[in-house]
Structure 1
Amino acid sequence: MNTIQSEDLAIHKLLNDYYIVPNYQREYVWQQEQVNRLLEDIMEAKGEFPKIDEGDYFIGSIVVCESKNKNESSVLEVIDGQQRLTTIIVILCALRDRIREINPAGDTSGINNYVMNSSIDFTGNAVEKMKLLLQYEESDGILDKLGKREDVSTIVSHSKSVINIINAYTYTKEYLAQNYGDDEKSVREFFGYLVNKVKVIRVQTMSVAQALKIFETINDRGVGLNSMDLLKNLMFMHVRPEEFSKLKVKWKEIVQELEERKEKPLRFLRYFIMGNYGVEEITEERIYEWFLNNEHKCNYKSDSFGFVELLKQNVKAYGQYVSGKNPDGTNNRYLDNLRYFSGAARQHLILLLAARKLPNDLLEKLAWQIENLFFCYTITREPTKTFEKKFAKWATDLLLVKDEQGLDEFIKKYIVDEKNKKKDNFVYHLSMLNQTSIQQYRIRYILAKISQSLDEKAWGSTSYYNSLATYINKDVELEHILPQNPSADVKVAFDKGEEYQDYVKKLGNLTLLEKSINSSISNGAYDHKRNEYEKSSFMITKAISSIPQVGVNTKINRAGIGLRTYDEWNSISIEDRQKLLVELSLKAWDMETTTAATSTSS
C-alpha cells in the first residue's frame, strides 16, 4: 500500500472529506491583500465561465495525514495549506450569505454542504459537523460561528485569528457585491466555478512525521513559508507527538515577543546565528539551510527543547535591547541612547546577543562602547555589511567573556582599535556635517548627546541628565541660530549672503532650545537671541552667549573649559562653532583615548 498519495482534486471533491488544523499549528494570518489576490486570481481564471470553459485553475497544494485520534478516524490533519483551506471555507460562507442577502428565499443548501454537513451520531441524532475544524485556541470557534450563520457584528474577540477571519469574510462579501451587485445568477456562477474548476493537489501521508517531511521539502523549494516557519516545522519533526502542545507553547512565546516588539523574525534569526555562532555572512534566504547543515552546533535534534529555550532566551534579550533595557528588564542608558540614533538599524544586536549573560554593570560598560562605535561607523559611512561581518566575527570572543578583565581586553582589542582607525575620518565627516547629510532624528541625537555630556560634567550624574529624553522631547526644539526664514535685515547683515542657506544648515548653526524660550525669539536678530540663550538650562546653548561660572575650580567651571562665546553671528562664528562641536564630540563619544576606557561616564 502506498504510504504517500497525491491527488489532483477540485474543491467539491476536496471537501468531501473533513479536516482539522492541529493545535500546534500557527493561527490564521492572511490579510486583505492575500484574500484579494486569491479572489482576483479566481475571477480572472473564471473569465466567461460557464459560457466559455478555459479549463481548470490550480491554487496550490495542501499536505495532510490521517488523524490518530480515535474519535476523528475519518478526519485529515492539515500540516500545510491551512491558510488557503481556511480561506476557501470563509469564501464559501461569504458566497452563501451574499446570496441570502440578495434573495432571502434562495436555496443555499448546496453551498452550505461544503461548509458543514449533518451526520448521525451513536445515539441516532443528527449533528452538524464543520468541514474544517481549527483546533488552535486562537480560533475561538470562529469557523463554526460562520458556518451557523452567526452575525459577525456580534462576535467580540481580541484574537488575531478571529479578527483576520472576520475581515476575510467581510471583505469577500464586499468583493462579491462590488463585482456582481445584486445579480444572484453571477454570484452562483462564481460559486460553480470555484467548486468545479478550482483545484488543489492534496498530498496525503500515513503519519505526521511523513507529512512534516513533505511540508519541509515543498517549502524548501521556495514555495510557501519563510525560514521561521520552516524552523518551527523542523522542531516538530524532532519531538514526539505527545510533546507537540508543549513545544507549541514555547514557540508561541518566541513569536509573540517579536510581534509585540514589531520586530522582523528573519532579521532576529540572522542575528541569532551571527551572535551565537559567529557566522559572518548569511542571507535570510539561507537561514533554514544553515540550520539544516549545522545541527552539530545547534543540537536541535538531540536536544530540541534545549535549542528552543536558547532561542527563547535570545528573543527575550533581543526584545529588551530594542526597548533600551538589559535582558532582565532593568534600564541601560546607553542602550536607550541607541534607540534615538539607530532607527531601524539593528546590527549592534549581534554583539549584544553574544553578551546577554554578562552582569548588568559589565553590559552597561559594553553598551557604552557599542554606542560610541556604532555612531562612529554611521558618521564615517562605514558600509553596513562590513561592520556587520566584524560584529559577527567578534561575537565568538565576546561569548567567552565572563568578567571585567576579559571585557576590558575585548574592548581594547576590537572596539578601541576600530575607533583609533576611524578617528581622523570621524573628525572630517563631523566637520562637514549639515542637515542635508544625515537624517533629522540623528541631528537631534548628536546635539542631545553633546549637550548631555556637558551638562553631566557640570551638574553631576542624575537621572535627569542621564537620559537623552531630557533633550529629545516635544518641549525641546532644534534651534537655527541663523534663522531659516530671516527678515530682510537679518539676511542682508549676514557676511556671506549668497551662501546664507548653506550656513543655516551647518551643524555649527544648530543648538537645542526649550520650546518656551524658542517661541519668544522667533526669527529675530542674533543680538536679541543671545540674551534668551542664557536662560536655557542646557550649557551648550548658554555658552553661545555666556559661559557659566560658579565659584572657583568647580565642576561647572571645569565643564566650561574650552567653550567659546560669540559676540556676533556670522560665517566665521558658525565655522568656529562647528569645530567646537567636533571637539566636544570626541569627548562625548570617547573618541580621544587610545586605550580601553575604564569608566562609563561620558
Structure 2
Amino acid sequence: MAAIESRDVSVKELFRDFYIVPSYQREYVWEKIQVRQLLEDIRAEQQEGSSSEYFIGSVVVCPSQTRQGADDLIDGQQRVTTLFIILCAIRDKLSSLGEDSLEGIKKSIVDVDTDQDGNDCLRAHLEPQYKDAGNVFNDLIEGQPIKKAETRSIKNISVAYSTVRQFLSDDLEDSREEIKKFFGYLIKNVKLIKIYTDSFGRALKIFETINDRGIGLNAMDLLKNLLFMSADERDFEDLKECWKSIVDDLYKINEKPLRFLRYFIFSIWGVPRLAKDELYEWLIKNDEKIGLKNNPVAFAERLKEALKAYAGFLNKKDHYGNESHILENISFLYRKHTSARQYLVLLLAGRHLSSEIFSALCRDIESFLFVCILVKEEIRTFEALFARWSLRLAKVRTAEDYRIFSKETFQSQKRKHANKFHITFKEMDDRSLPKYQFDYVLGKLTQYVDRNAYGGNSPLSYYCNSREVHLEHILPRNSDGEVFKEFGSGADDPRLISSIGNLALVEKSINMSLGNKPFSKKRCIYPESRYLLTRIIAERPNIGNTAIDRAVLHMHPFDEWNRDSIRQRAEWLADLACVVWDVPIDDYGKGLGIGE
C-alpha cells in the first residue's frame, strides 16, 4: 500500500474496521452541548432530503501497535467515540420500542473478528485503552446501564449517551420509524475522510499538519502530540503517566490548560505577549532553548512540577506545601474573578526562592494588586510586565537581591500611583468596591493595627468572617431624631454614611448593642471591642503596654461625631493604608508610628 491513503467513507464503512484508542490519548471530553449540536446538525441535513450528505471531518489511523488487524485512532477520537455512543443509544432505544430487526446496527457495534490463532471472536469496533474509560464501554456494548461515573471521561460518556436517548425521545418523538430513518441516514449519508498511514510516526505528522495553528485542537493537545512524536517508544509509558497527571491536576483545580501553559512560558522565558492561538507555533520556533524534541519526558516532568506549585498557590499554599496567609489574602481580592490570575506568573517564577523571600514576594504581589484595584488599573495590562519581571526574579538568590528587585519593580510601579491611591482611599465608601473587596480593606486595616499592638498571627479570614464580624456605621444608616439633633444636618447624607471614615469593624455581640444610637451613647460601647482600630474611635487604651502605646500613639479619639470627624478619620485611614499596603508616599504615613 501507499504510505498515505485517504478516502471518503460513510459511518457504515467506517465501522467495518476495528479501532483502538491508544492509552496515551486524552480522555473523552465532549459534553452535552457538542453531542446535541452534532445530532441536530445531522437531523437538519437529513430533513433536506435523503440524497443530501453531511461531512463531519477527518480521522487519522495507522496499524495498531497493540493488536493485529486493528487500527490505532490517532486523530478524530472524539467524533468516532460519539458516533459509537450514538449507535449504542439507537440500538437500545429501538430495542425498548420492540424492534426485532437490529442485526445491521449490532454489527456496526460488535462484529466477528479473527484472532492470531485463526479463531473467530466477537470484538467491538471501538476499544479505548486509556484508563479513564474504565469498563464503561463494556456497559455500552452490552446495553447495560452505565455504572457510577468515577472519572470525568466516564461522566462525559454517560452524559453523551443520555443526550442521545433524550434526542431520540424528544426530537424523534420515540417513533420507531423515525429513529430507523435517522439511523439509515446516519450510516449512509454522514461522511468522513479517513486517512490511513503506514506508521505511527507518519500518522502523528499528519495529525500535526491537520491541526496546524490550533485548528480543531488547542495548543495543549498539539503539545502532547509533539511530545509523543519526539519520544522514544520505550518512554511512552512514563510520558503517558506524566501527561495524565497533568490533565487530572488541571481538572481538579478547574484551570484552563492554555492559561496555565501561557503562564508557565511567561514565568520561564519572559515572553512579553503570546495569544492562545500563538502558543504552539511559539513552542515549535523556540524548541532549541526549550528542549521539547531532545527530551520530551524531561519537559513534561518540568511542566508537571510547575503545575504542582501552581495548584498549591491557588489552594493558598506556598511551593513547599505550607499554608500561606498571604496567598489567602490574595484570594480575598479575587474571590469572584477566576480570570484575574496574572500574578501567578510571578509566583511560578519565584518558586525557587527561600520561604522568607517567597513570603516577601507574596506580600509585594498582594499590595501591588490592591493598589491596582483601587486606582482602577487593569491587572491584565501588566501581563507583559510580569513576564519581564520573571526573568529578573529568576536571578534573585539573596534577601538583598530581592530588596533591589522589589524596589525597581513593585515599589517603582506603586510610586506612580501613590497620590491617586491616597486620594481615592480617602474618598472611598462601601460602594466603591464589591463587598468582598471592601471587607478585605477594613479587615486588613484592623488586622494590621492589632498585630502591631498585640502581636499574634490571626489570619485575615478572622476579620472577614461576616457571621461574627459586622460592619459598623458610626453615623447610623437609619437616623432618628436623637441622631439628627447630635449630628446636625446631613445625618441622612448617604455619602457621609457610606464613607470609609464612618465605618469600622465590630463583633456581632457588640453590633447588636450599638444599633442606631447616637455617637454619645456608642462612645461607651466601642471600648468593649477587641479591635484596637475600633476602640480608639472613643478612647485611647492605656494599659502600659509599650507596643500598644506605639500602635495607638497617633490615633485620635473623638469627643463628638460630625462631618469633620468623618473627614478627619478618612484622612487618617488613607495615611494608614499607605503604610499597610506599602505605598511609597513620602508625605503620608510618616507619623503613624506603626511598623517602625
Tell whether the structures are fold-level matches, with TM greater than 0.5: yes
Q: 2:212 aligns with which of 189, 214, 220?
A: 220
Give the deviation of 1:90 after TM superposition: 0.7
Amino acid at match of 1:548: P
- Tell me the secondary structure at the aligned position of residue 65 of structure 1: strand
Counterparts of 1:252 and 1:496, CA distance in 2: 67
Q: 2:60 aligns with which of 60, 63, 74?
A: 63
Alignment match, 2:563: 571
Alignment match, 1:591: 583
* 1:529–1:29 CA distance, 2 compared to 1 (3 A): farther
Q: 1:92 aligns with which of 80, 87, 95?
A: 87
Amino acid at match of 2:158: I
1:494–1:500: 8 Å Cα contact kept in structure 2?
A: no
Give the deviation of 1:476 after TM superposition: 1.8
Amino acid at match of 1:414: T
Alignment match, 2:506: 513
Alignment match, 2:471: 478
Counterparts of 1:429 and 1:75, CA distance in 2: 69
Counterparts of 2:163 and 2:481, CA distance in 1: 58
1:450–1:588: 8 Å Cα contact kept in structure 2?
A: yes
- Please say which of residues 19-28 and 413-422 is displaced more in the overlay: 413-422
Alignment match, 1:537: 530
* 1:488–1:127 CA distance, 2 compared to 1 (3 A): farther
- Please say which of residues 510-519 and 301-310 is displaced more in the overlay: 510-519
Counterparts of 2:457 and 2:305, CA distance in 1: 29
Give the deviation of 1:502 after TM superposition: 2.3
Counterparts of 2:487 and 2:93, CA distance in 1: 71
Equivalent residues in 2 for 1:14-33, closer than 5 Å? 14-33=14-33
- Tell me the secondary structure at the aligned position of residue 301 of structure 1: coil
Give the deviation of 1:333 after TM superposition: 2.6
Q: 1:288 aligns with which of 275, 280, 292?
A: 280
Name the % identity.
38
- Tell me the secondary structure at the aligned position of residue 63 of structure 1: strand
Alignment match, 2:416: 421
Alignment match, 2:383: 388
Counterparts of 2:484 and 2:24, CA distance in 1: 69
Counterparts of 1:491 and 1:159, CA distance in 2: 63
* 1:188–1:340 CA distance, 2 compared to 1 (3 A): same
- Tell me the secondary structure at the aligned position of residue 534 of structure 1: helix
In the alignment, is residue 140 of structure 1 matched against residue 134 of structure 2? yes
Counterparts of 2:478 and 2:198, CA distance in 1: 76
- Tell me the secondary structure at the aligned position of residue 531 of structure 1: coil
Q: 2:143 aligns with which of 132, 144, 149?
A: 149
CA RMSD of aligned residues (A): 2.3
- Tell me the secondary structure at the aligned position of residue 463 of structure 1: coil
Give the deviation of 1:247 after TM superposition: 0.5
2:483–2:491: 8 Å Cα contact kept in structure 1?
A: no
1:491–1:500: 8 Å Cα contact kept in structure 2?
A: no
2:68–2:116: 8 Å Cα contact kept in structure 1?
A: no
Give the deviation of 1:222 after TM superposition: 4.3
Alignment match, 1:13: 13
Give the deviation of 1:494 after TM superposition: 5.3
Work out the number of aligned pairs and report it.
Answer: 585
Equivalent residues in 2 for 1:394-409, closer than 5 Å? 394-409=389-404
Give the deviation of 1:75 after TM superposition: 0.9
Counterparts of 2:185 and 2:485, CA distance in 1: 76
Amino acid at match of 1:532: I
Counterparts of 2:116 and 2:202, CA distance in 1: 32
Alignment match, 1:597: none
- Tell me the secondary structure at the aligned position of residue 524 of structure 2: helix
- Please say which of residues 505-514 and 35-44 is displaced more in the overlay: 505-514
Amino acid at match of 1:514: E
Alignment match, 2:101: 107
**Could you state the TM-score of these two structures normalised by the residue count of structure 2?**
0.93
* 1:421–1:100 CA distance, 2 compared to 1 (3 A): same
Amino acid at match of 2:131: E
Give the deviation of 1:291 after TM superposition: 0.6
2:245–2:304: 8 Å Cα contact kept in structure 1?
A: yes
Per-residue deviation, residues 75-110 of structure 1 (Å, max 9, x unmatched): 11111111111111111111111111122x532222
Alignment match, 2:297: 305
- Please say which of residues 6-15 and 568-577 is displaced more in the overlay: 568-577
* 1:536–1:305 CA distance, 2 compared to 1 (3 A): same
**Could you state the TM-score of these two structures normalised by the residue count of structure 1?**
0.92
Give the deviation of 1:571 after TM superposition: 2.8
In the alignment, is residue 204 of structure 1 matched against residue 199 of structure 2? no
Give the deviation of 1:36 after TM superposition: 1.1
* 1:428–1:111 CA distance, 2 compared to 1 (3 A): same
* 1:528–1:192 CA distance, 2 compared to 1 (3 A): farther
Give the deviation of 1:235 after TM superposition: 0.9
Q: 1:452 aligns with which of 447, 453, 468?
A: 447
Per-residue deviation, residues 552-572 of structure 1 (Å, max 9, x unmatched): x61111111222323343332
- Tell me the secondary structure at the aligned position of residue 192 of structure 2: strand
* 1:123–1:414 CA distance, 2 compared to 1 (3 A): closer
- Please say which of residues 82-91 and 298-307 is displaced more in the overlay: 298-307
Equivalent residues in 2 for 1:163-312, closer than 5 Å? 163-312=155-304
Gaps of 5+ in 2: 587-593
- Please say which of residues 300-309 and 481-490 is displaced more in the overlay: 481-490
Counterparts of 2:479 and 2:25, CA distance in 1: 63
2:214–2:277: 8 Å Cα contact kept in structure 1?
A: no
Give the deviation of 1:126 after TM superposition: 4.8
1:31–1:168: 8 Å Cα contact kept in structure 2?
A: yes
Amino acid at match of 1:19: Y
* 1:263–1:569 CA distance, 2 compared to 1 (3 A): farther
1:495–1:571: 8 Å Cα contact kept in structure 2?
A: no
Amino acid at match of 1:387: F
* 1:482–1:214 CA distance, 2 compared to 1 (3 A): farther
